[in-house]
Chains A and B, each alone.
Chain A
Amino acid sequence: MTNQLVMYEEELQQINTVCDQLQRDSNAQAVLVIDKNGQPIATAGDVESLDVTSLSSLTAGNVAATGGIASLLAEKEFAGQFHEGEKTNVHISIVGSRVILVVLFDQRSSLGLVRLRVKRASVELTRILDDLVRKSQSASAPSILAEITDDDIENLFND
């Protein structure tokens, strides 16, 4: 499973720190980091009222569709998207070709400020993700998968 995404405590904390800072520095309502397949990874800010699972899946679908359009137009990818609402605006960008960074913001912020702060956060996130890939590929990384037995799987379905 070379394609598998793995997240450890240490890297998740680092990602959370970057998200928290991005949310504060850009005066955003909320920040989300989502894997390209729609799995939420980290959040910051006011996410209590959000359906993060649904938002993640739809955003990943949106990014995938936009990527499909890009390849039809012989573009590598459209790195960013912006949706303007009456109250809430959404800035979506792809970081390190691996994850999606979503910033929700209102009139207390501006697209220019968000873009500026996203740029800096993206650099940090890319570094953390690179470390994460190296770590998960190294032999010393722990693996829950190796510990799972056939009985464990069987028991999950004995209801």
Chain B
Amino acid sequence: MSFINYAQREINCKIVYYGPGLCGKTTNLQYIYNKTNPEAKGKMISLATETERTLFFDFLPLSLGEIRGFRTRFHLYTVPGQVFYDASRKLILKGVDGVVFVADSQIERMEANIESFENLRDNLQEQGYSLDKIPYVVQYNKRDLPNAAPTTELEEVCNPKRVVSFEAVATKGVGVFDTLKAVAKLVLTELKRGG
């Protein structure tokens, strides 16, 4: 749910990074945080376990510049990827304006990608959203690993609608900002259409 603040001339949107456990959602946010000017970002919060697995969510507020005198602010969230945190994932999807589905390119994680993508669809539906309507992009992460599956194969299972997709190596920042820009653009375009 976007928040249009005429009093403070701000457009606020929420983007959620979704995907299976250890696919690199938090790494995406960490890279964005590290490479963004201090004046354009707030503090990054990670609610994680002692072993640095996401327990509830990561949160990063970003400012992307002005449109017609309105500051565009994006709140980036990740969900916990591990299967048993499903209740938390549902909560984080509330009020979402755009989704980045991060797939793990490793061939061994294909099943986990499928399961997470189906879980995204189900949880969106439960909140009254639909993958047919909500702006989303797909990121194929870990492209540098030797066991990475061909992107054509990943497209088959993680991108049935053939939305915009990106190859990425989040640890090195490859594809990270391209993914963010693409989803932010889609969200603003959808807002404009809805408004």
Q: B96's closest neighbor in chain A, by CB? A: A37
Residue pair A39, B75 in contact (C-beta under 8 Å): yes
Give the distance to chain A from B182, nearest Cβ to Cβ, in Å: 9
Residue pair A57, B91 in contact (C-beta under 8 Å): no
Residue pair A37, B57 in contact (C-beta under 8 Å): no
Residue pair A1, B191 in contact (C-beta under 8 Å): yes
Interface membership of chain A positions 1-34, coded 1 if the CB is closer than 8 angstroms to chain B and 0 otherwise:
1011111110111000000000000000000000
Contacts of A146 in B (CB 8 A): 192, 195
9-residue interface stretch from A76-84, A111-119, A150-158: A150-158
For B, the interface residue count at a CB cutoff of 8 angstroms equals: 43
Contact of B95 among A37, A41, A67, A148 (CB under 8 A): A37
Give the distance to chain A from B50, nearest Cβ to Cβ, in Å: 19
Residue pair B14, A37 in contact (C-beta under 8 Å): yes
Residue pair A157, B194 in contact (C-beta under 8 Å): no
Contacts A65-B56, A152-B67 given; does A144 touch B91 at CB 8 Å: no
Residue pair A61, B57 in contact (C-beta under 8 Å): yes
Contacts A4-B1, A8-B6, A144-B195 given; does A57 touch B61 at CB 8 Å: yes
9-residue interface stretch from B22-30, B41-49, B113-121, B150-158: B41-49
Give the distance to chain B from A73, nearest Cβ to Cβ, in Å: 13
Residue pair A4, B181 in contact (C-beta under 8 Å): no
Residue pair A144, B42 in contact (C-beta under 8 Å): no
Interface membership of chain B positions 93-126, coded 1 if the CB is closer than 8 angstroms to chain A and 0 otherwise:
0110000000000000000000000000000000
Residue pair A142, B188 in contact (C-beta under 8 Å): no
Q: A72's closest neighbor in chain B, by CB? A: B87
A13 to B185 CA separation, bound complex (whole angstroms): 32
Residues of chain B in range 143-195 having any CB-CB distance to chain A below 8 Å: 181, 184-185, 188-189, 191-192, 194-195
Contacts A8-B7, A144-B70 given; does A54 touch B43 at CB 8 Å: yes
Query: Does B65 count as interface, using CB distance less than 8 angstroms?
Result: yes
Interface membership of chain B positions 67-103, coded 1 if the CB is closer than 8 angstroms to chain A and 0 otherwise:
1101010010000000000011011101100000000
Contacts A39-B12, A53-B61 given; does A3 touch B1 at CB 8 Å: yes
Offer 21 A-B interface pairs, CB within 8 angstroms, sorted by A. A1-B1, A7-B6, A11-B7, A12-B8, A35-B3, A37-B14, A39-B75, A54-B43, A57-B59, A58-B45, A61-B91, A64-B91, A67-B91, A68-B90, A144-B68, A145-B191, A148-B67, A148-B191, A150-B189, A153-B185, A157-B185
Pick the 10 closest A-B CB pairs, nearest first: A145-B195, A37-B95, A1-B194, A12-B7, A64-B91, A3-B1, A9-B7, A53-B42, A7-B5, A5-B3
Q: Which residues of A contact B (CB under 8 A)?
A: 1, 3-9, 11-13, 35-39, 41, 51, 53-54, 57-58, 61, 64-65, 67-68, 142-148, 150, 152-154, 156-157
- Besides A6-B5, A37-B14, 14 more A-B contacts (Cβ < 8 Å) are A1-B2, A4-B2, A5-B1, A6-B4, A9-B6, A36-B94, A54-B45, A64-B94, A143-B195, A146-B192, A148-B192, A148-B195, A156-B66, A157-B185
